[in-house]
Structure 1
Amino acid sequence: MSSSRSRLALVVNSGSSSIKFGVFEMRTNASTLQVEASLACGGLVGRIGSEAEVKFSVGESTFQSSGEDIPDHAAGLARILGVIEDKVGSLEAVEVVGHRIVHGGPDFKRATVIDGGVEAAIEETAPLAPLHNPAGLLGVRVAKAKLPHAPHVAVFDTAFHVKSMSPEAYRYAVPRQLYELGVRRYGFHGTSYAYIARALPDVKNMIIFHLGNGASCCAVSRGECVETSMGLTPLEGLMMGTRCGDLDCGVVSYACRELGKTPAEVDSMLNKQSGLLGVSGVSSDMRAVREAAEAGNADAKLAREMYAERVRKYLGAYMVKLGGHVDAIVFTAGVGENDAGLREMVCRGLEPMGISLDPVKNRGRRREGDIRDVSTPFSRTKVLVAPTNEESMIAVEATEVAGVMADAIAAAKAARVARTMLPSLPRSPTRPPSLPPPPPKRRHVIGSLGRAVYVDGVGPTAAEELGLLSQVTATAPRIGYFRPFCDADDRKLLTMRTVFQLTSSSIDAMRGMSASEATAMLAAGREDECMDVVISKFVDYARDKDFVLVSRGHLGAIGDPHWTAKVAGALGLPVVYVLHEPRDDDKEIVLRAKDALDQRRVRLAGVVATTRDEEAARNTLENMGVFPAALLPPDERFSQITMAEIAATLEARVAFGHADLASSTMRGVIVATRHVAECIDTLRKLPPGQLVVTHAARADLVHSLVLAHQTIDYFPPIAGLLLSGTDGAATEHHLDASPDDAAQLAKTLDLLSCVPSTVRVPPILCVSESTYEAANAVHEMTPVMLPSSTAKIEAAQLLFETYLDPDFRDALADLRHDAAIVTPRMFQHHLFAKARAAPQRIVLPEGEDRRVVMAAGQLISRKVCDVTILGNPETVKALASEARVDVDGARIVDTHGEPPPPELVKALVDARKHKGMTYDVAAGLLRDDANYYGTMLLHLGLADGMVSGACHSTASTMRPALQIIKMAPGFSIVSSVFFMLLADGVKVFGDCAINVSPSAVELAQIAAASALTARAFGIDPRIAMLSYATGDSNKGDLIDKVRDATRLARDLAPDDLFEGPIQFDAAVDPAVAAVKYNGEQNPVAGVANVCIFPTLDAGNSAYKAVQQASKCIAIGPVMQGLKKPVNDLSRGCTVSDIVNTVAVTCLQSLQAKKK
């Protein structure tokens, strides 16, 4: 670790009459690239408001005083800051302040920089933690006033649990009325669990017991909380110092009734007089209770036994919660770390569960800061004692969230990259003699692959997929595996699920749909719907994963590059293409794949190829512009078939040899129908590893082969026997042969079951098919990968550990969320998914237009929004019937046949009375102009958005909105954008519909508004201010306007990236940008996704030209700048255009409500 200067983080834990603090020196670990904290100074100011006490320590030195005059928290913090300046250094070195906030409610799922909104939210959660949150908020406000230069970050005790617990874990079985009041499980000690999870990154599943005066436990999988013991308050769960833990809720009312106490008094009893104190009658301190128990105090002994029993109960429950796969039990905090006797009580008798405590190591001395393994070598589940440091974790989380060490992390990463460019030692895994040494690595430039890749290729790809995924586990704790098209019993899916223990998700969640379902949808012309289903399931599955490998689907020809491009393009994923075995036409195959992917703008991230000539293969791929991700030597293990794989493929019953199935490899097949002597003689002439297929009635042959199998020098070992003609479902050797044959074989199998273990009986499998069918099934088998294929799994892992290109390994490890482009399909999927999640009320004023009615039917059937149609009900329903759509779910308002509601008329009069509007004129407008009627519904909150223009001009659509809805704060003009759903990503074009020749000020507003719109739809904006010249290459009034607008836009939105003036090709093409900018790096040039045109003439022409030339979808115009969303359609719009624009309007409405 290194740091150029002392960089400090202050941690503040403010109570009602005290402030605890810690000052931490922050550094970056060069190997892990993580922020680390070491304590420089810590202490507390207590009894604020009376005779205050001050305690602090700096290194080995301590200071303590009492009776100080510290009247309030402001004075207390001033005293702390004085200590820091005196003992540590300048307050300017404090770059971030982390505040412990006990309760974050359901919304705060991570540490958060504190602004006014966060302060208000903390205040709103005060009823959930009335003793803690108000005090914590007081500390925040005082600290922000004293240290205004530093960002202040709230670190919530509840966040670690809230961010990952599922509803079945956090919901209580109470009426929804209570749930809506916030009654649910939140959990506490979150920073302690986060600290332990960070300290043990290689432990997948663990149960952590935080045992102190307050005690809780947590089931953790891949660094995230699955379930925790504390609930709405810290009272639930384990027995504690003064808290009772789990209790029948009826106790409260019973105590109130029988003891005559108030609920508050009972609450105080359960929180402050129960637990160890209440049962032992001695103390809330476990040390005192232990001493009393050892001295013979029966109540104290009972208290310890109850305490341990509660821990054991939760241990058992959480082992079930983690599916029985628990890698470690971790004891932490004061009691957990220091009470060896209690740990023995917890672990006593758990050896059958794989938990074995070593009594010597358990009672051994511990070194400060060490994590100790106190289990025996035979313990499947490790028992660890790990120190926790909540204040340190608060400092780390605050530093990471505020980004104050981002520069140090970037420097450390750059240094690590530089080191990897130097010659290095060979990798450590032991390589079998048959594998050649890996070739010297060349350096390549390859960007992040994001959080998922799509794997396809020619031939089997299971080994390559397993090898790739095994190389990601070190940097992506939460990995996933997904197949777009496969059945629920798909062998490869089940294998990956088992090998990588991906059991936290259901099998159905790991696949899009069955191959038969997909084929039926494609045959019916429903490809878009098919892809939507796959996208939706993939997005849901990948949401909580760090990395997902997507395996090709069982549709089309294997390795079909056009189908690969279609599916990978829909998911927005880079492709890794596999050439499983050396072929003469490899070059042609790769070129076809590259061309197909290029046509859909899908990135070919790399090729994994098996080759005997590594150098030639590398040169060939690089000459084609293809990255050689891994060039693997041939490995015969992948072409072998084991008896376990035969048994699984044929669904055979295993009569003998379960233990040898995985290690027994078939090298040939012989059908034995002749006499025993002839069969034995034939087998003697063949290589070892033959599978003998014969009928189950041949008891003589079975017996003879088992005997021959014992004489290795005389008879080559066989792989096993496959007995045909048996009843596969039978459990007692029933056969389809004659009764005499069945009885004879039954005797043979019974005899074999009695032989001693020293007799080598080969694996014997039984199938119901005939001998010919069984032999043919084996001949048609291809090598497979099963969870039991240990040799193949180890070979795949070793090959990729050895031969995966180091740059490709780094690209896999770079798990940036924004690495992938926003593809058209993904954009549309997220658009409609967000709209469906919170349905808005959208009014369609043009209800007598057939396209609008058809669109309304689709919106209702897809549950996108609640639809209000303005028009004659009979006409609307007739159009719906003609178009075969159902609009029964819509509200239809007859604006002509019914007088307008008085409240609408009155509201219109009030809005336009300064223009002389009268009641009669307003009523006439509402009756005759549906756009005014729809706008008034929006104005009065009876609708959330309006979409019109299919048969009205832009002026007719927008005039009522401009008169009544008016502008959003900060905007003086309305503008528009189009979402251009291009193959290489979604781009935003503006203004293409409203402002003819905006001024520099107006153009800046259009740019800032377009950036806000892009971000609202999940696009991180990089804004290009377009002109006919780039930079200073030309002069003119238009260029000067764009240059001024760029400067003003940066002032309006200082956090966004603007570049201008710039030409369109330099804005979107990295190659052109490199030339125009002389190779200088620019965050916008070449990668712009928001393009602002200087005039309406340029913008409107450009969007239509791009749409026609690329045949892309253009959604818009999307209006921006109004208080509430009103969008204008083109009069040539299609039904799809209307549906898309309504979905956009829904999201605009949601965004407007957040402001």
Structure 2
Amino acid sequence: MTRSVYVTGIGRGDGRQVVELGLMELLSRQVDRVGVFRPLAHAGPDPVFDLLRGRYRLAQTADAARGMEYPEAAALQAERGMDELVTRLVDRFHRVARDYEVVLVLGTDYADTQLPAELTLNARLANEFGAAVLPVVSGLGQGAESIAAEVRNAHHAFASLGCEVVAMIANRVGDGEAVVAARELGGQLPVPVWALPEDPALAAPTVAQVVDALGATVLLGDPTGLARDIRDFVFGGATLPVFLPALTESCLVITPGDRADLVVGALAAHSAGAPPIAGVLLTLGAHPGEETMALASRLAPGTPVLSVPGGSFPTATELSGLEGKLTAATPRKAEIALGLFESHVDTAALTERISLVRGDRVTPMMFEHELIERARADRRHVVLPEGTEERVLRAAEVLLRRNVCDLTLLGDETAITKRAADLGIDLQPPGGRCTVHITDPATSPLRERFAEVYAKLRAHRGVTYELAHDVVADVSYFGTLMVQEGLADGMVSGAAHSTAATIRPAFEVIRTKPDASIVSSVFFMCLADKVLVYGDCAVNPDPDAAQLADIAIQSAATAAQFGVEPRIALLSYSTGTSGTGADVDKVREATELVRRLRPDLKVEGPIQYDAAVEPSVARTKLPGSAVAGQATVLVFPDLNTGNNTYKAVQRSAGAVAVGPVLQGLRKPVNDLSRGALVQDIVNTVAITAIQAQQEVGA
């Protein structure tokens, strides 16, 4: 029977979308096929479903995931009674459930539903679906005693209606004492109680939301600027000297469109970082002339300037109730929500209470989730040399929000801080357990120490202290020396630097492990139902037989480190003894070396790719082989073959390629593709942190 979890509330404003997103994250870590069902829906788009569908790559359509719309349900209940309504919704639920291992059910939202006894209806549906219930209560504006009473009453209500309540969550709790009180309440109820604090960044609307809500015209600004959060509204009407001190961080300035002085002043203040604003909203349908707007665009590129025809007061009235929303268009808010959920909910205990049993299949998403979980379990410190790069900053915020690791960003502190502010990135998220440091190699007191270390290491190459002092100001060298000196556990770079710029300092400073002759790399190729390890696709152009054997042994160790049982296939254009020639002989010699050096490893070679991964081909070409048809570690004979193959599989088969992951170094340093996405950076940092855990434990 399909296992289902029903997330519901007892009224409006509980912000349960945070819980729904967090629960979907938890479920998708455990099983491959997770479905979503919303029994009752409002007409039009479903922002939460669209977010879940996009983020978790659901095959469902919105129509397939919903039971019926509220007006239809209200009419049916009025005409035929609740039993008929429930019967139809149960039938539609089972149409969804038969295709999934787990179904996340999104309860009614108590917003203009025209349904009597809505709590009772949610409880009845949960029971009929056979779903465990996770009730959410709102703590917004309530003290400790009030929240405790709400939680008790909600638990009693659902339990008395026969529901299997797995836990209780108080959300949007603003009082620190209330957070503690809600947790303590868990000892008084038969189920755990968790409290999620209110996070201003979640409640803050974005500039894009203001545009949609007001039908505003965008005069200036780019998509990044429109994605900024608005934490405050500041109305401009005073003279500039009085106006400027009133500006607050991430505020939206609302001023009549003829006040060019306030527009220029606000944008100049933003450019100076005192303080960074979200944007400017011009009222009365007026705006400054072309020269002023050209100056504005140069003062703060990308910062939104909007225009509306109405006056300041009616505009303020329209904006007064505007709150941030979790949607597919606000991925940053999704990361904030997940950070809240994972920081304040015992996900291991919740998983156990839901009684989920993890399957054998490993999907790309499950592999990525596993990386985050393992990195977070034993937090490490990773240095990111490219501190002003947008993708790195966005990845840093995700890592900090999700409590994955501590970070050091390298670069000019003013430039990094301003860049983060321009992008609306919070590098000090509230309630986060991870820390971030910003260090400028040019001015850091560590520069002299690192110069001495580097000069000593490279003295045989004629490097003097004076030369070393210049070299270590480079962010890649400085970051590498932080790792070497134990001031960071690992380094990730390459989003804006070449592979050579990233790994050359590691070769010079960190060097190879005693049991490794070379540094090589692997990609984790996440296919639809399994993870394969490809090596070496990024570092060594044409390894000889001994180097190829080293790559195979290192790749097997990396695979095992990340939960992939190593079965090594050394690839060639022929299988077994069918071919001859220098290229085949090299692979054959490498295979024999692996067998001699590591008789405990399962290895086959030379072998063709199809015989390595496809059982039916293996039965024909290499019957009886312990590797053929089920290889997990595929070692390519040269960089040309490996690099092209991984890219072909990535693009043609839709695989997620995680890497390159460097191996053979004494301490972890990893390279990024210069086309790396934010999630690629997050994954690589998590991998680096896990490698560092292993180094510490070695």
After TM superposition, give the deviation of residue 1132 of structure 1 in Å: 1.5
The partner residue of 2:361 within 801, 821, 830 is 821
Native 8 Å contact 1:857 1:887 kept in 2? yes
Check if 1:1138 corresponds to 2:668. no
After TM superposition, give the deviation of residue 1051 of structure 1 in Å: 2.4
Q: Secondary structure at the residue paired with 1:864?
A: coil
Instruction: Give, in whole Å, the separation in 1 of the partners of 2:379 and 2:572.
Output: 40
Q: Secondary structure at the residue paired with 1:983?
A: coil
After TM superposition, give the deviation of residue 1100 of structure 1 in Å: 0.3
Instruction: Give, in whole Å, the separation in 2 of the partners of 1:1074 and 1:1150.
Output: 40
The partner residue of 2:610 within 1056, 1060, 1065 is 1065
After TM superposition, give the deviation of residue 988 of structure 1 in Å: 0.8
Partner of 1:849: 389
Partner of 2:328: none
After TM superposition, give the deviation of residue 551 of structure 1 in Å: 10
1:614-763 matched pairs, under 5 angstroms: none
1:543-562 matched pairs, under 5 angstroms: 554-555=37-38
1:271-290 matched pairs, under 5 angstroms: none
Native 8 Å contact 1:976 1:991 kept in 2? yes
Relative distance call for 1:819 and 1:1061 in structure 2 (3 A) is farther
Relative distance call for 1:1038 and 1:896 in structure 2 (3 A) is same
Same amino acid, percent of matched pairs: 45
Native 8 Å contact 1:519 1:555 kept in 2? no
1:125-274 matched pairs, under 5 angstroms: none
Instruction: Give, in whole Å, the separation in 2 of the partners of 1:1089 and 1:853.
Output: 34
Partner of 1:1114: 657
Partner of 2:492: 947
Partner of 1:921: 467
Partner of 2:440: 894
Q: TM-score, normalised by structure 2?
A: 0.52
Partner of 1:834: 374
Instruction: Give, in whole Å, the separation in 2 of the partners of 1:858 and 1:567.
Output: 17
After TM superposition, give the deviation of residue 1011 of structure 1 in Å: 0.5
Relative distance call for 1:1033 and 1:592 in structure 2 (3 A) is farther
Instruction: Give, in whole Å, the separation in 2 of the partners of 1:1090 and 1:865.
Output: 28
Native 8 Å contact 1:485 1:555 kept in 2? no
Relative distance call for 1:650 and 1:1064 in structure 2 (3 A) is closer
1:318-717 matched pairs, under 5 angstroms: 455-456=1-2, 483-485=4-6, 531-535=24-28, 554-555=37-38
Partner of 1:1083: 626
After TM superposition, give the deviation of residue 973 of structure 1 in Å: 0.2
Instruction: Give, in whole Å, the separation in 2 of the partners of 1:984 and 1:556.
Output: 30
Partner of 1:868: 408
Native 8 Å contact 1:842 1:866 kept in 2? yes
Instruction: Give, in whole Å, the separation in 2 of the partners of 1:1021 and 1:484.
Output: 36
Instruction: Give, in whole Å, the separation in 2 of the partners of 1:1130 and 1:484.
Output: 39
After TM superposition, give the deviation of residue 853 of structure 1 in Å: 1.5
Instruction: Give, in whole Å, the separation in 2 of the partners of 1:992 and 1:1128.
Output: 12
The partner residue of 1:1047 within 572, 575, 592 is 592
Instruction: Give, in whole Å, the separation in 2 of the partners of 1:1103 and 1:853.
Output: 27
After TM superposition, give the deviation of residue 993 of structure 1 in Å: 0.3
Instruction: Give, in whole Å, the separation in 2 of the partners of 1:1066 and 1:591.
Output: 40
Native 8 Å contact 1:821 1:985 kept in 2? yes
- Which runs of no fewer than 5 residues in structure 1 stay unpaired? 1-454, 457-481, 490-515, 540-548, 558-562, 571-589, 604-647, 652-727, 729-816
Partner of 2:303: none
Query: Amino acid of the residue matched to residue 952 of structure 1?
Result: H
The partner residue of 2:574 within 1016, 1025, 1029 is 1029
Query: Amino acid of the residue matched to residue 1129 of structure 1?
Result: L
Instruction: Give, in whole Å, the separation in 2 of the partners of 1:953 and 1:552.
Output: 41
Q: Deviations over 1:1038-1095 (max 9, x none)?
A: 1111111111112232222111111111211222222323xx3332211211111111
Q: Deviations over 1:373-411 (max 9, x none)?
A: xxxxxxxxxxxxxxxxxxxxxxxxxxxxxxxxxxxxxxx
The partner residue of 1:908 within 454, 458, 464 is 454
Q: Secondary structure at the residue paired with 2:534?
A: strand
Relative distance call for 1:1062 and 1:855 in structure 2 (3 A) is same
Native 8 Å contact 1:858 1:885 kept in 2? no
Check if 1:1147 corresponds to 2:690. yes
Relative distance call for 1:1031 and 1:892 in structure 2 (3 A) is same
Query: Amino acid of the residue matched to residue 830 of structure 1?
Result: E
After TM superposition, give the deviation of residue 821 of structure 1 in Å: 2.8
Q: Secondary structure at the residue paired with 2:458?
A: helix
Instruction: Give, in whole Å, the separation in 2 of the partners of 1:1007 and 1:969.
Output: 16
Relative distance call for 1:1082 and 1:569 in structure 2 (3 A) is farther
Relative distance call for 1:550 and 1:1041 in structure 2 (3 A) is closer
Native 8 Å contact 1:991 1:1096 kept in 2? yes
Relative distance call for 1:1003 and 1:551 in structure 2 (3 A) is closer
Relative distance call for 1:484 and 1:1024 in structure 2 (3 A) is farther
Instruction: Give, in whole Å, the separation in 2 of the partners of 1:842 and 1:1008.
Output: 26
1:79-90 matched pairs, under 5 angstroms: none
After TM superposition, give the deviation of residue 898 of structure 1 in Å: 4.3
After TM superposition, give the deviation of residue 930 of structure 1 in Å: 0.9
Instruction: Give, in whole Å, the separation in 1 of the partners of 2:652 and 2:34.
Output: 33
Query: Amino acid of the residue matched to residue 680 of structure 2?
Result: D
Query: Amino acid of the residue matched to residue 1061 of structure 1?
Result: P
After TM superposition, give the deviation of residue 555 of structure 1 in Å: 4.7
Query: Amino acid of the residue matched to residue 26 of structure 2?
Result: V
Native 8 Å contact 1:521 1:530 kept in 2? yes
After TM superposition, give the deviation of residue 1113 of structure 1 in Å: 1.7
Q: TM-score, normalised by structure 1?
A: 0.32
Instruction: Give, in whole Å, the separation in 1 of the partners of 2:33 and 2:7.
Output: 12
Native 8 Å contact 1:1026 1:1042 kept in 2? yes
Instruction: Give, in whole Å, the separation in 2 of the partners of 1:844 and 1:649.
Output: 52
Q: Secondary structure at the residue paired with 2:604?
A: strand
Relative distance call for 1:901 and 1:887 in structure 2 (3 A) is same
Instruction: Give, in whole Å, the separation in 1 of the partners of 2:39 and 2:651.
Output: 30
Instruction: Give, in whole Å, the separation in 1 of the partners of 2:591 and 2:503.
Output: 28
Relative distance call for 1:517 and 1:1036 in structure 2 (3 A) is farther
Partner of 1:1097: 640
Partner of 2:557: 1012
After TM superposition, give the deviation of residue 851 of structure 1 in Å: 1.5
Partner of 1:882: 422
Native 8 Å contact 1:483 1:552 kept in 2? no
Native 8 Å contact 2:35 2:58 kept in 1? no
Q: Deviations over 1:522-574 (max 9, x none)?
A: 8xxx6xx65323245x59xxxxxxxxx999765579xxxxx99x99999xxxx
Partner of 2:523: 978
Query: Amino acid of the residue matched to residue 890 of structure 1?
Result: V
Higher relative contact order (CA 8 A, sep 6+): 2
Instruction: Give, in whole Å, the separation in 1 of the partners of 2:593 and 2:682.
Output: 35
Relative distance call for 1:829 and 1:879 in structure 2 (3 A) is same
Between Structure 1 and Structure 2, how many residues are aligned? 400
Instruction: Give, in whole Å, the separation in 1 of the partners of 2:584 and 2:381.
Output: 43
Native 8 Å contact 1:483 1:550 kept in 2? no
Q: Deviations over 1:703-727 (max 9, x none)?
A: xxxxxxxxxxxxxxxxxxxxxxxxx
Q: Secondary structure at the residue paired with 2:508?
A: helix
Relative distance call for 1:649 and 1:824 in structure 2 (3 A) is closer
Relative distance call for 1:1001 and 1:485 in structure 2 (3 A) is farther
Instruction: Give, in whole Å, the separation in 2 of the partners of 1:1140 and 1:1075.
Output: 38
Instruction: Give, in whole Å, the separation in 2 of the partners of 1:1154 and 1:1090.
Output: 24
Relative distance call for 1:864 and 1:650 in structure 2 (3 A) is closer
After TM superposition, give the deviation of residue 517 of structure 1 in Å: 7.9
Instruction: Give, in whole Å, the separation in 2 of the partners of 1:1127 and 1:1042.
Output: 27
Instruction: Give the aligned CA root-mean-square deviation in angstroms.
Output: 4.0
Tell me which structure has the larger Cα radius of gyration.
Answer: 1
After TM superposition, give the deviation of residue 867 of structure 1 in Å: 0.4
